[in-house]
C-alpha cells in the first residue's frame, strides 16, 4: 500500500477509536444527527407514496356520465354517438348496467349478496374521454353543466379535480420537505461543528505539542475531519435503521389497507442506492461541520 493511504487509514481508525472511547458522548451526538436526518427523509418517503398513488389516477382525466335507470341500451348508444361527434371528445365508452354489475361482481367478491337483489342497482355509464389530456377546470365545469342538463343523464362527474388538488398538496409538501431538509441539514452541520469544537479545546495541549514538533495544519486537521465525517455517517446509518424499523412496522398495515381497496400496493418505494445516500449525506454534512470548526479554532491554538 502507498504510504499516504496507510497514513489516512491510520487516522481513520485512530479517530474511530477516539469515538469508541467516549461512547456516551458519541451516541448522543450520533442520535441527534440520526433524528435530524430521519425527519426530512420520512417526509420525502411519505410524499413519494402519495405521489405514486396519485400517479395511478393520472389517466383519469375523464368525465363519467351516470345515466337514468330507464334509459335503454339503444338510447345510451345513440347518446354516446352524439357526444362523440363533438370536436373536443376523443372517445366515448358505454358500459351498460348489466356489464357494470358483472364487473362489480367479479372485483368486489360480493357475488352471493348481489344474487339476492331482485334488480340491478347500478346505472349505465358513459365514459367521455376528452382530446386534451387535462381539461382546464373552467372547461370541465362547463362540460359538466352541459352534460348534466341532458335528460338521459342522472349525474355527471369529473373526478380529476381532486387528483389535481392532491398533486398541488404534494408539491407544497415537497417544498416543505426541501425547507426542512435545509434547516435540519444545517442543524447537523452545527451539531457536529460544536462537537468538534469541544474536541479541539479538550485536546488543546496535544495540538500545541504537535505544532511544536513540526506538524502541518493538514496533519492536525485530519483526525478532526475524519471524526466529523464518521459521526455524520454513523448518524446516517442510525437514521437508515430507524427508517427500516418504521417501514417494517407500517408495511403490514399498509398492505391490509391496500387490500380493502383491491390494490396490490405495497411499501416498496426505497431502493438500496437511495438509502445508501443517507450515510453518505451524513458523512458529507459531518465533514462540513468539522471543517467549519477546525477552520475557526485551529488557528487560534498556537504554542506561546
Is residue 303 at the binding interface for other proteins, with CB under 8 A as the rule? yes
Distance CA 128, CA 130 (A): 6
Does 151 bind other proteins (CB under 8 A)? Our answer is no
The reply on whether position 209 binds other proteins by CB under 8 A is yes
To other proteins, the closest distance from the beta carbon of 192 in angstroms equals: 23
What are the grid coordinates assigned to 238, written together? Answer: 442510525
d(CA 101, CA 123): 9
Q: Please state the closest distance from residue 14 (CB atom) to other proteins, in A.
A: 10
Q: Is 3 in the site for other proteins (CB under 8 A)?
A: yes
What's the rounded Cα separation, in Å, for the pair 109 and 21? Answer: 62
Taking the complex as a whole, the smallest distance from the CB of residue 5 to other proteins amounts, in Å, to: 12
Per rule CB under 8 A, is residue 131 in the interface with other proteins?
Answer: no
* 133 is a contact residue toward other proteins (CB under 8 A): no
Q: Kindly state the smallest distance separating residue 22's Cβ from other proteins, in Å.
A: 12
Convert 244-268 to b/e letters by CB count within 10 Å (16 or more is b). Answer: eeebeeeeeeeeeeeeeeeeeeebe
E-strand ranges in the chain read 63-67, 89-95, 125-130, 153-158
Task: Select the span of 154-162, 206-214, 235-243, 265-273 touching other proteins (CB under 8 A).
Answer: 206-214
Nearer CB in complex with other proteins: 155/216: 216
Asked if residue 162 binds other proteins (CB under 8 A), the reply is no
Question: Should residue 296 be labelled a site residue for other proteins when binding is judged by CB under 8 A?
Answer: no
- Rounded to an integer, what distance in angstroms lies between the CA atom of residue 224 and that of residue 196? 7
Amino acid at each position: 500500500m502507498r504510504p499516504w493511504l496507510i497514513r489516512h487509514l491510520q487516522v481513520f481508525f485512530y479517530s474511530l477509536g477516539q469515538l469508541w472511547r467516549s461512547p456516551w458522548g458519541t451516541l448522543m451526538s450520533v442520535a441527534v444527527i440520526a433524528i435530524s436526518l430521519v425527519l426530512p427523509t420520512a417526509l420525502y418517503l411519505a410524499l413519494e407514496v402519495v405521489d405514486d398513488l396519485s400517479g395511478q389516477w393520472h389517466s383519469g382525466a375523464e368525465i363519467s356520465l351516470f345515466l337514468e335507470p330507464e334509459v335503454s341500451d339503444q338510447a345510451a348508444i345513440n347518446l354516446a354517438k352524439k357526444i362523440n361527434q363533438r370536436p373536443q371528445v376523443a372517445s366515448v365508452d358505454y358500459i351498460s348496467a348489466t356489464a357494470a354489475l358483472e364487473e362489480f361482481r367479479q372485483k368486489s367478491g360480493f357475488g352471493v349478496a348481489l344474487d339476492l337483489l331482485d334488480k340491478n342497482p347500478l346505472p349505465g355509464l358513459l365514459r367521455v374521454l376528452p382530446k386534451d389530456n387535462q381539461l382546464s377546470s373552467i372547461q370541465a365545469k362547463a362540460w359538466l353543466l352541459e352534460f348534466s342538463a341532458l335528460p338521459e343523464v342522472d349525474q355527471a362527474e369529473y373526478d380529476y379535480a381532486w387528483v389535481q388538488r392532491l398533486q398541488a398538496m404534494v408539491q407544497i409538501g415537497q417544498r416543505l420537505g426541501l425547507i426542512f431538509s435545509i434547516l435540519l441539514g444545517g442543524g447537523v452541520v452545527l451539531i457536529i461543528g460544536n462537537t468538534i469544537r469541544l474536541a479541539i479545546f479538550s485536546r488543546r495541549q496535544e495540538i500545541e505539542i504537535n505544532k511544536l514538533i513540526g506538524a502541518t495544519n493538514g496533519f492536525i486537521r485530519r483526525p478532526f475531519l475524519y471524526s466529523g465525517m464518521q459521526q455524520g455517517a454513523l448518524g446516517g446509518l442510525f437514521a437508515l435503521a430507524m427508517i427500516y424499523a418504521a417501514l417494517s412496522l407500517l408495511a403490514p398495515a399498509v398492505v391490509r389497507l391496500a387490500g380493502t381497496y383491491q390494490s396490490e400496493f405495497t411499501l416498496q418505494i426505497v431502493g438500496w442506492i437511495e438509502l445508501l445516500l443517507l450515510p453518505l449525506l451524513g458523512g458529507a454534512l459531518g465533514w462540513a461541520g468539522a471543517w467549519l470548526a477546525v477552520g475557526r479554532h485551529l488557528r487560534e491554538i498556537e504554542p506561546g
